[in-house]
Amino acid sequence: MKLFSNMKKWFEDQRNLFYCFLFVLIVPNILLCITEQMSVGAKLTNILLPLGCYYTLMTLSRSSAKMVGYLFLFVFLGAFQIVLLYLFGKSVIAVDMFLNLVTTNSAEAFELLDNLIPALVVVFLLYIPIIVWGIISVVHKRTVSEDFLRRQRKKSVLGLFLGVLALLLTVWTDEQYEFKSVFYPVNVCYNAYLAVQREIKTESYDQTSKDFSFHAYSSHAEEEREIYVMVVGETSRALNWKLYGYDRDTNPLLSVTDGLVAFPKVLTESNTTHKSVPMLLSDICAENFDSIYFRKGILTAFKEAGFHTAFFSNQRYNNSFIDFFGKEAENSYFIKEKESCLNPGDEDLLLLLEKELKKKQRKLFVVLHTYGSHFSYKERYPNDFAYFKPDSPLDVSVKYRENLKNAYDNTIRYTDYFLFRLMSLLKQEQAQTAFVYTSDHGEDLYDDDRRLFLHASPVPSAYQIYVPFVVWTSDEYQTAYSDKVQALEANRLKNISSSSSLFHTMLDLAGVETVYRKENCSVASQNFVESPRVYLNDHNEARSLKDMKMDDEDFRLLKKWNIDY
């Protein structure tokens, strides 16, 4: 009874709430000092200065509980930051993380949230009690004394002084220190601001792009029947493809397919779907990404050149550039928005393609956007494709790595089957046909001691950016355009960026001419030129992989895969 009475008095004492809330607020800063590559001065600044600021703010009211409410934004950001660190092991909440909140569909979110229980438990235990404590204190109108606040103000001033001093010393001694990128929570607030700005620009896209034209035309003979298909995969990494030397038979059909050219040194310029896919669907790349608000996509280029166009997706609408570019087609269909089946397979896209082929259009261009290898992996293939077992359970935990790997490899086998069926359909048309497949990005699968999982981390890993890139051409196409086939073979072992090559390669194969098409970016051209590797960072800047602060292990892997960086 006495213990309960002492606990009750402790919780009623608002000084304890004052100190506990300060601790809760500074926890993300402490964690970031452990996870991030920062100088000693930057780490001191990242703790002393925000602590001094929080301390000062807490002294503005005798009601510590009310300050919990006033500073709730930082509670929310702290919770978000802890979940992010659990997922990716490092980095602050990026602009892309905020945008993912509005572009990721609810089904994907719940698939992931179900496997974030450890992080959610920590967040619950850390933040919910302090919020409940604050609410109870407000209801009972509990406060601290003015004398207590006066003493705390003196301490907060000292904390601010030490924080500012640490900041000045860091700026003086660390030439690479950038306050708005390193200092938490200023960096997160700045990223939130950028996310809002981008969302506003996105909402205005219809107006800013309405007058754009590729002025495209076809250089191929009008009487030729041509069919070209672009397949945009999801979360498929090249490392798990048998075509690229994987020790498992994940490509039993494509491995024996004639007319297929697989490029083994391809990296994407983004590990996030809402950036990487628009780059694949347009002439936008990391070097000019912000011009996306004024451009249209590849479907418009083909339309202008006289092709009938279609866009079939196994994704949901998310009011992103993927939707905008997809809806440029004369026939666009998003299976998950239209079908009653909650989890349609990628194979359903081929049914839509078959209907399109039956129309016997003279010139046809189709984009297929698959769901590919996106988590939860077991949901991405029929039971008949459970070749590698056990493929469940799939909890996000390193102890289930083998299950996760088996299920993931099954998704690759299903993609292999999907592409083989696509090839078979195109063969039946007896036309000049070709398809190009690549994935938006790769995936981490607890591959090493870093225990990284999934994708879209603010700092990419080598596993997340290494993607497959294959081109298939029919016998009729090879006969008509042998020079293109020879170029594909000649460029096969070169270092390629899928983000800056797919658009130009697709147009080149189809003979679509436009001033926006670059010969030196097409792997179907004898004029293809290897370019320095760049990556689109969170602030939409093209940076070298070194500048992205990737781990030494990632560069070791790229070297092992014979990929220049």
pLDDT tens for the chain, 565 residues: list them: 677 788 888 988 999 999 999 999 999 999 999 999 889 999 999 999 999 999 999 999 999 999 999 999 999 999 999 988 988 888 899 998 888 776 665 555 555 666 677 888 889 999 999 999 999 999 999 999 999 999 999 999 999 999 999 999 999 998 888 898 899 999 999 999 999 999 999 999 999 999 999 999 999 999 999 999 999 999 999 999 999 999 999 999 999 999 999 999 999 999 999 999 999 999 999 999 999 999 999 999 999 999 999 999 999 888 899 999 999 999 999 998 876 667 899 999 999 999 999 999 999 999 999 999 999 999 999 999 999 999 998 887 889 999 999 999 999 999 999 999 999 999 999 899 999 999 999 999 999 999 899 998 889 999 999 999 999 999 999 999 999 999 999 999 999 999 999 999 999 999 999 999 999 999 999 999 999 999 999 999 999 999 998 999 999 999 999 999 9
Q: Which of 274, 285, 324, 281 is nearest to 301 (CA)?
A: 281
Residue 560: what pLDDT? 96
Query: Is the Cβ–Cβ distance between 390 and 462 less than 8 Å?
Result: no
Buried b (16+ CB within 10 A) or exposed e, 73-86: ebbebbbbbbbbbb
**Residues in a beta bridge with 308:** 364
- The architecture in CATH of the region 226-531 reads 3-Layer(aba) Sandwich (3.40)
What is the largest distance, in Å, between two alpha-carbon atoms of the chain?
A: 94
Torsion 69-75-77-79 (CA) sign: negative
pTM of the model: 0.89
* Domain assignments of the chain as residue spans, ordered by start: 2-201, 226-531
Separation CA 392–CA 388 (nearest Å) = 11
Dihedral class, residue 446 (left if φ above 0, else alpha if ψ from -120 to 50, else beta): left
What is the model's pLDDT at position 500? 97
Radius of gyration over every alpha carbon of the chain, rounded to an integer in angstroms:
27
CA dist., res. 398 & res. 404, Å (int): 9
Is 445 buried (19+), middle (13-18) or exposed (0-12) by CB count in 10 A? buried
